Amino acid sequence: MLKLKLNIFAILFLATSINTYGQFFEIYQAVNVEKHKGKNFSLEGKIFYKDAITNSSWTVLAARSLNDKGQQQKATLYNDNASDYYKNGEWSPYELTGKIEKDAKYLGIGITVAGIGSYYVDDLKLFVKDGKDKIEIPMQNSGFENDSLTNWKSYNLDKNTKLILEKDIVSSGKQSLFIDNSSIEVAPKLGNNSKVGKYATINGIKLYYEIYGQGEPLLLLHGNNSSIGSFDNQLDVLSKKYMVIGLDSRGQGKSTGDTTKLTYELMAEDLNAFLEQLQLKNTNVLGWSDGGNIALILAMRHPDKVKKMAVMGTVLFNDERSVTAETNKLIRKQVKEMQEKGVAETNMDYRLKMLLLTEPNINPDALQKIQSPTLVMAGQHDVVKEKHTKLIAEKIPGSKLMIFKGADHEAPKKIPQLFNQTVLDFFEPAVK
């Protein structure tokens, strides 16, 4: 096993990268780009997946501008979606583009790995655009042809991850870098717990779910292209008082999908059938983002299934009245890039982005059908406009409204203590 050297750049380079993945690390090097300040760059590389890509196991290219002290400038750039480039059983050509900051001295570049999959990496190359010319900037051991990884740094590498210079599977030259995660010991966690995880066959697909705790049922519904793992900060608190049921929506997390047109109504019907199969009625529901959209539709169509409902960052429709212009601009950019790369319209990631742009289509007056007590939540700086959140609360009979000051769409992750207490107080008010 090869060891990577760690220096001051490691601390500065990865300071903002750690997230909730059980295994998340980067391998990188700092390249001097002082002569190319303010210019556009492109980072290219080849990645071969030994294990199939999943929502929780993937690898992408990463880059960030650093000043002469190694301090990061602006947010890190990553490939938006690992699956855009993924080719099963062959070398996948990845490309990341961006701009070198005007006061940068270095560009920290490399790969980010999430999850427990194993990968081969080869042919990393850095280019800058100088007028009409594309100039390659030399990197150290970018093709992993040397018998040492001295020029490469790492951060947050698991003790059981092995870095091996591989000669049998290469893109070019004699060697590639093999990132072997096969010996990693992964502790069970929400969304990836084989001890409690089960599948329910619903409407021709398999929905993955996990159940924790005892008491009244409380169903967790996650956001777009996510999984029940996003509620990791809620599980311990909620499962002490409720039988928490975490469910991956169709085509997301560990649930399977099919070619049926994606709509929130379809997902609500999946949910209704799922609750029927578990013989559950009068279920408490906590929906975040897309999960909130689905919850609203379920409550309107099948009021017998919902006892109380709390929704966070929810929309009735998507236009300038409901969602920030920056949000839709970003989604459209991502869709355009996927189309330019030839991503099939049947690709689930593509379909989920189109779902965000075209759905839901709920008439605000239809919310008057909702019979269950409802808590409508959003962050002060949410991607959902506050006026729209207030509209939802106004239309649902007897609902309560909560705008978390200073928070955004990620309130369940960023302010879990306040969020959790707000949800608990709503579902089970204290007796006075």
Q: Is residue 189 part of a domain?
A: no
- Judgement on whether residues 132 and 281 belong to the same structural domain of the protein: no
Q: Is 214 a residue whose pLDDT tops 80?
A: yes
- Judgement on whether residues 122 and 219 belong to the same structural domain of the protein: no
164 vs 160: CA distance, rounded Å: 12
- Judgement on whether residues 157 and 220 belong to the same structural domain of the protein: no
Q: Is residue 1 part of a domain?
A: no
- Judgement on whether residues 242 and 270 belong to the same structural domain of the protein: yes
**13 CB burial (10 A radius; 0-12, 13-18, 19+):** buried
Q: Is residue 264 part of a domain?
A: yes
CATH at 345: 3.40.50.1820
- Judgement on whether residues 278 and 359 belong to the same structural domain of the protein: yes
- Judgement on whether residues 175 and 306 belong to the same structural domain of the protein: no
Coil, strand or helix: which one is 145? coil
Task: Give the domain-ending residue among 148, 180, 212.
Answer: 180
Q: Is 329 a residue whose pLDDT tops 60?
A: yes
Tell me the pLDDT tens digit for each residue of 223-279.
999 999 999 999 999 999 999 999 999 999 999 999 999 999 999 999 999 999 999
Range of the domain at 229: 198-427
CA distances to 32, 35, 130, 250 from 38, rounded to whole Å, are 13, 9, 10, 43
Q: How far apart are the first and last CA of the chain?
A: 62
Q: What is the pLDDT of residue 7?
A: 36
Residue 243: which of 283, 212, 208 has the closest Cα? 212
Q: What is the pLDDT of residue 13?
A: 36
Q: Which is more confident, 342 or 296?
A: 296
Q: Is residue 2 part of a domain?
A: no
Q: Is residue 21 part of a domain?
A: yes
- Judgement on whether residues 227 and 351 belong to the same structural domain of the protein: yes
Q: Is residue 162 part of a domain?
A: yes
Q: How many residues does the chain have?
A: 432
Q: Mean pLDDT, to the nearest integer, of 350-361?
A: 96
Long-range contacts of 416-419 (CB under 8 A, 24+ apart): 416/233, 416/234, 419/233, 419/234, 419/312, 419/377
Q: What is the pLDDT of residue 429?
A: 67
293 vs 291: CA distance, rounded Å: 5
Task: Give the domain-ending residue among 130, 154, 180.
Answer: 180
Coil, strand or helix: which one is 137? strand
- Judgement on whether residues 160 and 240 belong to the same structural domain of the protein: no
- Judgement on whether residues 139 and 222 belong to the same structural domain of the protein: no
Please indicate, yes or no, whether the overall pTM of this predicted structure exceeds 0.85: no
What is the average pLDDT score of the chain? 91
Q: What share of the chain is helix, strand, coil (3-state, %, to 5)?
A: 25, 30, 45
Q: Mean pLDDT, to the nearest integer, of 10-21?
A: 36
- Judgement on whether residues 110 and 148 belong to the same structural domain of the protein: yes
CATH at 48: 2.60.120
User: In this structure, what DSSP letter does residue 303 have?
Assistant: G
- Judgement on whether residues 232 and 364 belong to the same structural domain of the protein: yes
Q: Could you identify the residue written with the tokens 């379909």?
A: 351
Q: Is residue 190 part of a domain?
A: no
Domain count within the chain: 2
User: Which helix (H) or strand (E) segment is 326 a member of?
Assistant: helix 325-340
**Model confidence at 8, in pLDDT bands (50, 70, 90)?**
very low
- Judgement on whether residues 120 and 220 belong to the same structural domain of the protein: no
Q: Is 348 a residue whose pLDDT tops 50?
A: yes
